[in-house]
Structure formats: structure tokens, C-alpha cells
């Protein structure tokens, strides 16, 4: 549960407006509104005040950590490489820029640039806002807020983490559409020194459609699935 602060604590009109925007976006009234003002202050408009760049540094790290934790728990069988790749997709520059616009940070950001702003300005502001949420609410609440209010609402996480790599799911879906039963079978386990090698096959309509070997069983299945997809002209 987030500690409930009333919006009434803000008497200054522009502070109150910003506090209301933060509440609408994330579901809490800021304890320290200055953090959010700073997060939404582009360096072009910083003059004597601190711009959002320090908070961007902090927010970037916090975002990386909480997405790492989220994926670690979401994908209990994924290897380090898959986790790293999935996170890169989620926190890609492009994704953060898009997310910032979806959240309407472009309407909150204070800049002193005339004309068109590069969209990275908004992605950076989103990172800075994450930094502000973190300092205002702590890690655990930030984790909850970012996942509930940003990631799950605005991103197709399943697509991002499976995109390109989960050939097994793609193959299963394909066969389900065709209503042909398909299964992955373990053909053998060999020992190569201290490592096991899994030899797996993809079976459909009584035939092994493809085989693959790998020390990691899941990877062997992915490789076998990929081979079938290639034969079918699906990749």
C-alpha cells in the first residue's frame, strides 16, 4: 500500500497541478514535488537549477534493476542471455521514447528548445521520472508502480520477450492452428565429459520432423523447432 498523501498539501497552483498529474499517472501524491519538477526539467531550461540529467542516471539504473527482477521471476527457465536480450528490448531507447509519449510526459516536460524536440528527450525524461519515483517512494513501491502503471499497461511484454527467439511456441501455435498434434521428445541424453548433451526431436504425424543436440534441453528444443520452421518457410 502506498502512503496516502492528500493533494491539498500543495498550495502553489503549479505544484498542485503537477502533483495531480503524477497522481493520475502513477496513483500516488508525491511526498517531494521538487524531485518531479527536476525530473521534468530539460537541461535547456535548467539555468541555475539542476536539470533532469542526474535523475536520469539514477532512474536508468533503477529501471534496469527492476526489469531484471521482473524478468528473472517471469522467466524461471530462461538463461542469462535470454534475460539480457529481453530486457534490452523492453528498455530500448525506442520503447522508452514511445512510452514517455503514451504517458504524456511531453506535456509535462519543461524545455527551452524552440521547434521540434528529438524523441530521446522524452525517453530520458521517463528515466528521470523513474529516478524521482524511486527517491520519493523507495524501491519496492517503485517496482510495483512501474510494472502496474507502465510496463503491463503499455507494453506487450510477452511479445517483446518471445519475439524472434521462442521458436518452440511459434511452432506449437502453428500446428495448433492446423489442428495437427505436435510434441517435443527427448531422444537421448549423452555425456560429453562433465556436460550432458540433450538430443531432442520434434514429432508430428508419427514422424520426427527435426532433431537437435544441445547441453541445455530448452535450447535443443528451440533449435529443433527452428529447423522445422525453416523447412516450412516460416522464418
| Residues making contact with a copy of itself (CB under 8 A) | 44-45, 47-48, 53-54, 56-58, 60-62, 64-65, 67-69, 72, 78-80, 83-84, 112, 134, 138-140, 194-196
| Residues recorded for the chain | 235
3-state secondary structure of 76: coil
Q: Do 198 and 214 form a contact (C-beta atoms < 8 A)?
A: yes
In the complex, the smallest distance separating the C-beta of residue 25 from a copy of itself, rounded to whole angstroms, is 22
- As given in the structure block, the three cell numbers for residue 9 are 498539501
79 catalytic residue (yes or no):
no
Report in angstroms how near the CB of residue 107 gets to a copy of itself at its nearest. 21
Per the residue annotation, which of 53, 80, 112, 127 is the catalytic one?
A: 127
Whether residue 189 lies in the annotated active site: no
User: Which of residues 17 and 54 has its CB atom nearest to a copy of itself in the complex?
Assistant: 54
Question: Coil, strand or helix: which one is 29?
Answer: coil
Q: Report the residue number, 72 or 153, with the smaller CB distance to a copy of itself.
A: 72
Cα gap 183→179, rounded to integer Å: 13
Output the smallest distance, CB 47 to a copy of itself, in A.
7
**CA angle centred on 64, ends 142 and 123, rounded to 5°:** 85
Residue among 121 and 228 whose Cβ is closer to a copy of itself? 121
- Residue whose CB is less far from a copy of itself, 34 or 112: 112
Give the CA radius of gyration of the chain.
Answer: 24
Please report how close the Cβ of residue 8 comes to a copy of itself at its closest, in angstroms. Answer: 30
For residue 50, the minimal CB distance to a copy of itself (Å) is: 9
Q: What cell does 48 get?
A: 541555475
How far apart are the two ends of the chain, measured CA to CA in Å?
46
Q: Which of 15, 53, 56, 60 is catalytic?
A: 60
On the 0-12 / 13-18 / 19+ scale of CB atoms within 10 A, 125 is: buried
Quick one: 54 or 154, whose CB is closer to a copy of itself? 54
Task: Collect all residues with Cβ–Cβ distance below 8 Å to 24 and sequence separation of at least 6.
Answer: none
As annotated, the active-site residues are 60, 127
Amino acid at each position: 500500500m502506498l502512503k496516502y498523501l492528500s493533494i491539498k498539501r500543495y498550495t502553489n497552483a503549479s505544484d498542485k497541478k503537477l502533483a495531480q498529474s503524477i497522481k493520475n499517472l502513477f496513483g500516488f501524491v508525491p511526498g517531494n514535488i521538487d524531485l518531479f519538477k527536476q525530473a521534468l526539467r530539460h537541461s535547456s531550461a535548467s539555468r541555475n537549477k539542476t536539470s533532469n540529467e542526474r535523475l536520469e542516471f539514477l532512474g536508468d539504473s533503477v529501471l534496469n534493476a527492476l526489469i531484471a527482477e521482473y524478468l528473472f521471476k517471469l522467466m524461471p527457465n530462461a538463461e542469462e542471455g535470454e534475460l539480457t536480450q529481453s530486457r534490452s528490448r523492453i528498455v530500448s531507447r525506442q520503447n522508452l521514447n514511445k512510452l514517455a509519449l503514451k504517458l504524456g510526459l511531453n506535456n509535462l516536460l519543461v524545455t527551452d528548445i524552440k521547434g521540434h524536440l528529438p524523441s530521446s528527450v522524452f525517453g530520458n525524461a521517463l528515466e528521470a521520472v523513474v529516478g524521482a519515483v524511486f527517491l520519493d517512494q523507495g524501491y519496492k513501491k517503485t517496482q510495483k508502480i512501474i510494472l502496474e502503471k507502465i510496463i503491463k499497461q503499455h507494453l506487450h511484454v510477452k511479445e517483446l520477450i518471445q519475439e524472434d527467439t521462442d521458436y518452440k511456441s511459434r511452432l506449437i501455435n502453428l500446428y495448433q492452428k492446423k489442428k495437427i498434434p505436435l510434441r517435443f521428445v527427448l531422444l537421448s541424453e549423452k555425456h560429453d565429459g562433465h556436460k550432458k548433451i540433450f538430443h531432442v526431436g520434434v514429432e508430428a504425424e508419427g514422424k520426427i520432423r527435426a532433431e537437435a543436440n544441445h547441453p541445455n534441453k530448452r535450447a535443443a528444443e528451440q533449435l529443433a523447432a527452428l529447423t522445422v520452421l525453416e523447412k516450412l518457410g516460416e522464418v
